[in-house]
């Protein structure tokens, strides 16, 4: 189990570095995706799947905050003390379409797939046989 947690910690650190290098039919105007996503979120779950094995880490074993400023800056922090994860990343700009968040800085951006279900935001990252989903709840 300890080895699984170490692998999870490494995967999460990799996920954070990828994110940095990389986030109506009626008279009412429909919000664009970026307007829907803007705000502050708290991390509620990380799910790692690899060849038939699934590891799920939930609060209180992990904590995190994600913030998308409507004017461009963004930040993300994740902490999982048991596996030695303590990461903070941020960027100067982000944008979104219906399925992808593009985030980063002026010189480098990355695209991350997402799904928004009401106030719940899920990022998905796939690397070979490994899939990592992080789920966030809007505050």
Domain boundaries, the chain: 2-138
Of 116, 134, 136, the C-alpha closest to 49 is 134
Could you give the CA distance from residue 59 to residue 29 in angstroms, rounded to a whole number?
36
Say which DSSP state 9 is in: H
Of 137, 98, 132, the C-alpha closest to 17 is 132
Q: 127: which 2 tokens? A: 């690397």
Split at pLDDT 50, 70, 90, the class of 42 is very high
**Model confidence pLDDT, tens digit, residues 80-104:** 777 677 889 999 999 999 999 998 8
pLDDT at 80: 79
Q: How open is the CA angle 97-103-108, to the nearest 5 degrees? A: 125
pLDDT at 81: 76
Query: Taking the CA atoms of the chain, what radius of gyration do you get in angstroms?
Result: 15
32-55 b/e (C-beta count within 10 Å ≥ 16 → b): ebbeebbeebebbbbbbebeeeeb
Task: Tell me the pTM.
Answer: 0.76
Could you give the CA distance from residue 95 to residue 2 in angstroms, rounded to a whole number?
37
Domain 2-138, classified CATH 3.20.20.140, yes or no: no
In this model, does residue 17 exceed pLDDT 70? no
HSE of 71 in the Cβ direction (CA atoms, 13 Å)?
0
């Amino acid at each position: 189990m300890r080895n699984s947690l170490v692998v999870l910690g490494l995967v999460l650190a990799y996920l954070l570095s990828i994110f940095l290098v990389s986030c109506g039919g009626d008279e009412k105007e429909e919000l664009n995706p970026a307007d829907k996503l803007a705000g502050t979120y708290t991390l509620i779950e990380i799910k790692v799947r690899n060849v038939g094995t699934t590891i799920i880490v939930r609060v209180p074993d992990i904590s995190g905050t994600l913030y998308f400023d409507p004017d461009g800056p963004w930040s993300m922090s994740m902490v999982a003390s048991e596996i030695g994860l303590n990461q903070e990343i941020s960027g100067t700009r982000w944008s979104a379409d219906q399925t992808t968040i593009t985030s980063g800085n002026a010189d480098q951006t990355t695209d991350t797939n997402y799904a928004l279900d009401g106030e719940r935001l899920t990022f998905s990252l796939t690397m070979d046989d490994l899939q990592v989903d992080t789920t966030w709840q809007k505050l």
